[in-house]
Amino acid sequence: MVKVVAINISEQRGIPKTTVSEGEFITDFGLKGDAHAGNWHRQVSFLGQESIDKMKALGIKDLGAGQFAENITTEGIVLYSLPIGTRLDINGVIFEVTQIGKECHQGCAIFQQIGKCVMPKEGIFARVIQGGTVRPGDEITIEK
């Protein structure tokens, strides 16, 4: 099953996000209360638990959801293989993939610690097409 592992939020950019029990996603804006929300193409970020596990295998044991500043941590899907324009339906909330990966700004704390970070290559970004509430455990349906 493809599912949501965690919802993560922060009020400022450049820091790890805190896991919350649910997230309210607003159409054409992003996650309510998150510093990255706004009227642009990277309203919401996603990273797979599998990518986090790769980093743990490199020696960082205390990594968890939100440490790479992703809004939604997923499980059971290779996110970075999805084409731009793919839609993800999570409990009726619709996201459209707008970007795969990103340029790492100034080398994040993880990169500085071990010389590698997965978010620039394996994280994806999306905009909110239809808003609503998402919770850990919600199933993700891929609409291509």
Q: pLDDT (tens digit, 9 = 90+) per residue, 25-47? A: 999 999 999 999 999 999 999 99
pTM to 2 decimal places: 0.91
> Residue 104: what pLDDT?
67
* More reliable by pLDDT, 113 or 79: 79
Q: In what order do the strands lie in the sheet with 132-134?
A: 30-31, 23-26, 132-134
> Residue 111: what pLDDT?
65
Domain count, the chain: 1
CA pair distance 143, 140, nearest whole angstrom: 10
Among 139, 134, 123, which Cα is nearest to 47's?
123
Q: What is the mean pLDDT of residues 100-127?
A: 75
| Residue with token string 């999306």 | 126
3 state SS of 21? coil
Q: What percent of the chain has pLDDT over 90?
A: 69
What CATH number did the domain enclosing 99 receive?
2.40.33.20
Q: Give me the domain span that covers residue 20.
A: 3-143
